[in-house]
Chain A
Amino acid sequence: AAMSRKRLQQLVDSLGRSAKHFNKREVECLVKLFDTLVAESSSRFAAVGFDRNMFRDTLHSAFGMTDDMIMDRVFHTFDRDNDSCISAVEWVEGLSVFLRGTLEERIKYCFEVYDLNGDGYISREEMFQMLKNSLLKQPSEEDPDEGIKDLVDIALKKMDYDHDGKLSFTDFEKAVRDENLLLEAFGPCLPDIK
């Protein structure tokens, strides 16, 4: 069931304040979009919000994303209360950073995406996981894993400022501020410019 007008108004008002990068009209549009997409889906959470699959479909159709693992992590970042469901509030606030975040906001966002186990560090193993499929050509004799391990070493060498073998948020932030291209170092998790 769609929200009542009054409830919608209240929602839009509060989101207008918390999602800083959208104005009220834009928030209203996003909420309406949310309602439309939710109504279209067949999930049992339909009344409440996006589930994982629906969200992945949306990411794919609207933003051209294809990497399952990354999309999963994006879902996790949007889903603040960790209830495996994205509410309208989480939707709008997440999109605020996703579409229009400042560099600082996006650094935080990407780090959260890449920190697979949420322990505050991007570990070697996590990097390996994310970069697993990133080498397209391999000389046949060589163990394909070797190439990925080399790549992980290169990334660590570049970004691990405190030399503790893993990337803390401070490491990551510093690296990205030094070289903006590294923001999505471990996979595209922000919308493409195209």
Chain B
Amino acid sequence: LQGGNPTATVIALCSMRDFNLAQETCQLAIRDIGCLEVLINLLDTEEIKCQIGSLKILKEISQNTLIRHAIADLGGLQIMVKILDSPDKDLKCLAAETIANVARFKRARRTVRQHGGIKRLVGLLECISAGSTGLTPYQAKDTEIARCGALALWSCSKSIKNKEAIRKAGGIPLLGRWLRCSHANILTPVVGTLQECASEPSYRLAIRTEGMIENLVKNLSSEHEELQMHCASAIFKCAEDKETRDLVRQHGGLQPLSVLLGNSENKELLAAVTGAIWKCAISGENVSKFREYKVIEALVGLLTDQPEEVLVNIVGALGECCQEPINRSIIRKCGGIPPLVKLLTGTDQALLVNVTKAVGACATEPENMMIIDRLDGVRLLWSLLKNPNPDVQASAAWAICPCIENAKDAGEMVRSFVGGLELIVNLLKSKNKEVLASVCAAITNIAKDEENLAVITDHGVVPLLSKLANTNNDKLRRHLAEAISHCCMWGSNRVTFGETKAVAPLVLYLKSNDPSVHRATAQALYQLSEEPNNCITMHENGVVKLLLAMVGSTDETLQEAAAGCIANIRRLALATEKAKYG
């Protein structure tokens, strides 16, 4: 290789390929005797046959991680990028395929970008047959070049900056054009790249607007499982957006997804499919379709014995399906409640968030609630309040609300959790807004039982709630106000709320745009206004004008509360006048 002219070199290069280049000992031997430098030097010549021969070897051995790093260290990537400009088609393909192998680590991907590699790779995707879309490229060679380009882009696209670079180089419409052809060997890297990039909103938008959802759906029915998986993955990521969820349904994508649930052997595929179903189920119309296709039953059937990446999605999907009340019954009827409750004992945070949500959604049906209670589900939810992850805490607290609402002897049940009430009251010290809102909601439910309200009062719930009053967060405001209005119904809590300065901030809530905040606040103020000192505070803070406007609302609860509050203030004012002037 080193001492020969091109003729001798080519003979040597061809013979080298007879070694088992896939074997690590062989690959490392090549590196250790300094052969890698020779091979890379050959790339830098103008001898096309030598370049081809060398790349054939480099392509094989770069499957090895250590070799990849060595090739990058020796400046091999820059040379390969230059070779992409060559008019020789075989050479271009080999260079792209080798780049695809080497660019499997971060530094290499950066190097490719810094030397103009992304632009050139995108260039490989350009169809010679310019013109209308939907044409299958007429030359196998051009398809091969595009395939190799796509493979390289796929590897490179794992870096965020490269995703951006691909987009800037006009890669998206080109990928979209190839998406319409029917050869699996080029479809796979194209969809692989799109799916990888779909984590970026700009790509999701383009995928939607360039009409790619239709093709992704079509290829869900491909014979090739890897291709199916990448399509499902892309849909999983893109279905964050409502328009995409609608497009998937309109192009008939929900049925193939449902069918693919039957393939439970291929775990990667199953994870992608269940993920796609989960996100699509965020839209109610899709949930109806899924019910038609008996997806709920299939999902429940998969609830045991799957790896966590799959379970997270299955449970997420079931949670979303519970939007439709009838599905909550279906889950019960096919025995879905026990496995869900069992999953509450797990440790994976993402899974726990989804499980608590699903259990909470199921708990809105009294019949489901009986089963959950029998299986100790509420106690399990309650102990998740101790989980260090705030997302889990919040999700558990949200789920506890319907449990209390729908359980028989809810008050008794809550009391039975040793230290439970103290625990939840103390969560009011959290810094996380979602946790606070959810805990307030739970406390609202707890406080409906008088005995429990007495207990949480003892645990200091009133000052803790008051401390939270100064907030602009509408979600928190609403649930906080609800909690306050329910906690007013015990002992001298109304007075304490006034003393701990909860009243004035509440008045400000009436300036929010959110009608549910108005309603909750009006109710709280009404309750607080039973205490004269609070009336004075409210009046001083200009509550009357704000409440007067709400007396005319179409929301009856709001009307009543607003009117009741104003009435109390007025009554106090009249009594004061009478006392003063006789």
Interface residues of A (CB under 8 A from B): 131, 133-138, 147, 151, 154-155, 157-158, 179, 181-182, 184-188, 193-194
Is A181's CB under 8 angstroms from B13's CB? yes
Is B5 an interface residue when CB atoms closer than 8 A count as contact?
Answer: yes
Is B48 an interface residue when CB atoms closer than 8 A count as contact?
Answer: yes
Interface pairs (8), CB distance under 8 Å: A131-B8, A135-B4, A151-B11, A181-B10, A181-B49, A185-B7, A186-B7, A193-B48
Min CB gap A189→B, angstroms: 10
Query: Which A residues lie within 8 Å of B53 (CB)?
Result: 181
| Chain B positions 1-33 with a Cβ under 8 Å from a chain A Cβ | 2-8, 10-15, 17-18
Report the bound CA distance from A185 to B3 in whole Å: 16
Is A137's CB under 8 angstroms from B7's CB? no
Report the bound CA distance from A4 to B49 in whole Å: 45
Report the bound CA distance from A188 to B52 in whole Å: 16
Is B13's CB under 8 angstroms from A151's CB? no
Q: How many residues of B contact A (CB 8 A)?
A: 21
Min CB gap B414→A, angstroms: 78
Min CB gap B89→A, angstroms: 11
Q: Which of B3, B10, B14 has the most CB of A within 10 A?
A: B14
Per a CB cutoff under 8 Å, which of B14, B52, B88 touches A158? B14
- 5 A-B pairs besides A134-B4, A137-B2 with CB distance below 8 A are A134-B8, A135-B5, A135-B8, A179-B17, A193-B88
CB-CB under 8 A for A136 and B88, given A181-B52, A182-B14? no
Name which residue of chain A comes closest to B13, CB basis: A181
Is B10's CB under 8 angstroms from A147's CB? no
Query: Which A residues lie within 8 Å of B11 (CB)?
Result: 151, 154-155, 158, 182, 185
Min CB gap B90→A, angstroms: 8
Q: Which of B11, B52, B53 has the most CB of A within 10 A?
A: B11
Report the bound CA distance from A54 to B18 in whole Å: 42
Is A138's CB under 8 angstroms from B3's CB? yes
Is A185's CB under 8 angstroms from B2's CB? no
Is B10's CB under 8 angstroms from A131's CB? no
Is B14's CB under 8 angstroms from A147's CB? no
Min CB gap B455→A, angstroms: 84
Report the bound CA distance from A136 to B6 in whole Å: 10
Per a CB cutoff under 8 Å, which of A154, A186, A187 touches B12? A154
Interface residues of B (CB under 8 A from A): 2-8, 10-15, 17-18, 46, 48-49, 52-53, 88
Is A158's CB under 8 angstroms from B13's CB? no
Name which residue of chain A comes closest to B3, CB basis: A137
Query: Which B residues lie within 8 Å of A179 (CB)?
Result: 14, 17
Min CB gap B39→A, angstroms: 15
Query: Which A residues lie within 8 Å of B8 (CB)?
Result: 131, 134-135, 151
Give the 4 A-B CB pairs with smallest separation, nearest first: A137-B3, A134-B8, A158-B15, A134-B5
Is B10's CB under 8 angstroms from A135's CB? no
Query: Which B residues lie within 8 Å of A138 (CB)?
Result: 3
Report the bound CA distance from A133 to B3 in whole Å: 11
Min CB gap B509→A, angstroms: 78
Report the bound CA distance from A111 to B4 in whole Å: 22
CB-CB under 8 A for A136 and B3, given A179-B14, A181-B53, A182-B14? yes
Min CB gap B37→A, angstroms: 15
Per a CB cutoff under 8 Å, which of A134, A147, A154, A194 touches B15? A154
CB-CB under 8 A for A136 and B5, given A154-B15, A181-B49? yes
Min CB gap B66→A, angstroms: 27
Min CB gap B387→A, angstroms: 61
Is A188's CB under 8 angstroms from B7's CB? yes
Name which residue of chain A comes closest to B12, CB basis: A154
Q: Which of A134, A157, A187, A188 has the most CB of B within 10 A?
A: A134
Report the bound CA distance from A155 to B15 in whole Å: 8
Query: Which B residues lie within 8 Å of A135 (CB)?
Result: 3-5, 8
Min CB gap B70→A, angstroms: 24
Report the bound CA distance from A95 to B15 in whole Å: 31
Query: Which A residues lie within 8 Å of B6 (CB)?
Result: 188
Report the bound CA distance from A133 to B7 in whole Å: 10
Report the bound CA distance from A155 to B18 in whole Å: 12
Report the bound CA distance from A136 to B3 in whole Å: 5
Q: Which of B2, B3, B8 has the most CB of A within 10 A?
A: B8
Query: Which A residues lie within 8 Å of B4 (CB)?
Result: 134-136, 151
Is A182's CB under 8 angstroms from B2's CB? no
Q: Which of A147, A181, A184, A185 has the most CB of B within 10 A?
A: A181
CB-CB under 8 A for A182 and B10, given A157-B15, A193-B48? yes
Query: Which A residues lie within 8 Å of B12 (CB)?
Result: 151, 154
Is A134's CB under 8 angstroms from B14's CB? no
Min CB gap B35→A, angstroms: 15
Is A131's CB under 8 angstroms from B7's CB? yes
Report the bound CA distance from A186 to B14 in whole Å: 13
Query: Which B residues lie within 8 Å of A194 (CB)?
Result: 46
Query: Which A residues lie within 8 Å of B5 (CB)?
Result: 133-136
Min CB gap B260→A, angstroms: 40
Name which residue of chain A comes closest to B86, CB basis: A193
Report the bound CA distance from A154 to B88 in whole Å: 28
Q: Which of A155, A179, A194 has the most CB of B within 10 A?
A: A179
Query: Which B residues lie within 8 Å of A157 (CB)?
Result: 15
Name which residue of chain B comes closest to A157, CB basis: B15
Min CB gap A183→B, angstroms: 9
Min CB gap A154→B, angstroms: 5
